Chains A and B, each alone.
Chain A
Amino acid sequence: MLFPILFSFYMSLHDWGGLGKATFIGIRNYTRIFTDSTFHTALYNTIFMWLTSTPLILGFALILAVMLNQKKVKFLKYFRVGYFMPFVTSTVVVGVIFTILLDSSFGLVNFFIESIGFQKIPFLTSTTWSKISIVIVLTWRWVGYNTIIMLAGLQNIPEDLYEAAEIDGGTTFQKFFYITVPMMRPIILFTFILSTIGSFQIFTEPYIMTGGGPMQSSLSVVQYLYNAGFQQFRMGYASALSYVLFAIIFVASYFQLKIGSGEEGI
């Protein structure tokens, strides 16, 4: 495990086509990244997808988990399986299904949009909508997974807290904001960090649905890395990119460990 990591760092200091001789160029790959406008676009797109999909996913997941945690819910087992299903499927399959569903001329989603009186939306072919389409797919796929995690967290909240609140006349909303949310903080944090790490590794959805386009509007960091390394065989540059990506993810994970260790005992 350590060898590839070190080797990757070594390569990131070279100009290398994968085969043939590598030339040592020091940190020039890294300085190039900071002035590479395509990388900036990819980073912007990735951050955009992260910051829009994560609140949507976790928000829906928390609401759903609270609903499913009601004791009177019937068919809980079936709901749980139903919501979890999108996560089971491979991202490639999800990508090809949504390519059809979101198609600008014959897609089912546009059929619904038109039937309630709006114009069709060019989901995958417009520079404004391509990122949003990826966010829609990410949300669809990850809500169920996070719901399951949050549901497990909710089941660990002691029942007496709610009973005490009820005796004091607390409303449903008060119970949600003053008991559920604070008690769920570590779990919400955990899912948030998982989503962050996942978001920075987005690849398959744009690769399948838009190819990163149109005009790089949905290009993600990992797809840019893939293009650099495995389409253009600029292995040194791709290694440097992977290290920058790693640094970003490491910072996120560091905060997870830091905050996580302060919140022991869930």
Chain B
Amino acid sequence: MFKKENITTYVFYILLITGVLISLLPFVWMITSSFKTLAEISEYPPTLLPDQIMWNNYVDVFETVPYGRNLFNSFFVAIMYTFFGVFISATGGYALSKYREAPGRKLFFAVILSTMMIPMQVLAIPLYILMAQVGWINSYPALILPFAAQGFGLFMLKQYIDGIPDDLIEAARIDGCGEFRIFFQIILPVIKPAVAALGTIYFMNNYNLFFWPLIVTNRSIMYTVPVAIAQLQGQQFGIPLHHIMAAATMSTAPLIIIFLYFQKYIISGITMGALKG
């Protein structure tokens, strides 16, 4: 009996660990490939570790494409997007939650919720034309602003703010607290965990976004990292796999660090939406 239990435990852990290995192996492969020569990547049978560590791959990426600028673009755009997106969601969520007497509030909320169902591709074409008309192609505002107001974030923070008792706000008002102070000094500190969750999700989503930056940029210095990597991959002759792997490693490393640091918030943000939906 005791023995049988032991074997099931072993099998159980072997299955779980195999699963994790399958999840992580592609990352290991990316990293080791990024140190190989182009010839070694396409060698068969494949080698696990590089014969000789090619630090040069990392240097060369910056020389063949403006990768430093691309990295900056990705970070700058994702940070600004997160800032605007969270700010819009928090102020909007607060207004929808606590200004109940405002006319048309219900209709407004319904419209916002229904925008959540609209795929980005439906909006991409008219927004692209709009960006072209105001001359914003290849600009930071075009990368940051169009998708900063997201129904999902507004909904999430509204739900969270609903949980704050009205008495708290009333008490502050009686003490002569202005509306802005109420928002910044009472509401924001209370909803900090939700803001952190939403902020990390926004950051990751935007940092990884491909479809929109692909459409709205066509000069290599304005590319974000995903577009820059896709352009390297899309070359007709001699795809520089070793450079691509180095670029991919550099773009993934900061994200993994952010994820490990904020994982509690990310996981809570994702499950929050699921359990309420």
**Chain A residues at the B interface, C-beta cutoff of 8 Å:** 1-5, 7-8, 11, 18, 64, 67-68, 70, 72-73, 78-86, 88-101, 103, 105-108, 111, 140, 143-145, 148-149, 152-153, 156, 187, 190-191, 197, 200-201, 203-204, 207-208, 222, 225-226, 229-230, 235, 238-239, 242-243, 245-246, 249-250, 253, 260, 266
Interface residue from A1, A145, A229 paired with B125 (Cβ < 8 Å)? A229
Smallest Cβ-Cβ distance to A156: which chain B residue: B275
Determine if B221 is an interface residue (Cβ-Cβ < 8 Å): no
Q: Is the CB of B226 within 8 A of A90?
A: yes
Q: How many A-B residue pairs lie within 8 Å, measured between CB atoms?
A: 196
Q: Is the CB of B117 within 8 A of A250?
A: yes
Q: A84-B267, A105-B44, A148-B270 are in contact. Are A93 and B24 (CB under 8 A)?
A: no
CB-contacts of B31-47 with A (<8 A): 33, 41-46
Q: Is the CB of B23 within 8 A of A140?
A: yes
- Beyond the given A83-B19, A88-B259, A103-B42, please list 18 additional residue pairs across the A-B interface where CB-CB is below 8 A: A3-B126, A4-B126, A64-B16, A67-B15, A81-B260, A82-B20, A82-B23, A85-B259, A95-B233, A96-B245, A97-B27, A98-B26, A106-B44, A148-B270, A204-B210, A229-B125, A245-B121, A246-B119
Smallest Cβ-Cβ distance to A81: which chain B residue: B263
Q: Is the CB of B46 within 8 A of A108?
A: yes
Instruction: Give chain B's interface residue range (CB within 8 Å of chain A).
Output: 35 or more
Q: Is the CB of B16 within 8 A of A5?
A: no
Q: Is the CB of B270 within 8 A of A235?
A: no
Q: Is the CB of B230 within 8 A of A208?
A: yes
Interface residue from A79, A144, A242, A246 paired with B16 (Cβ < 8 Å)? A79
Taking the nearest CB of chain A, how far is it from the CB of B185, in angstroms? 30
Q: A5-B123, A201-B121, A239-B125 are in contact. Are A85 and B274 (CB under 8 A)?
A: no
CB-contacts of B220-277 with A (<8 A): 225-227, 229-230, 233, 241, 244-245, 248, 251-252, 255-256, 259-260, 263, 267, 270-271, 274-275, 277
Q: A85-B27, A90-B251 are in contact. Are A149 and B42 (CB under 8 A)?
A: no
Q: Is the CB of B251 within 8 A of A93?
A: yes
Spot the interface stretch: B55-63, B127-135, B187-195.
B127-135
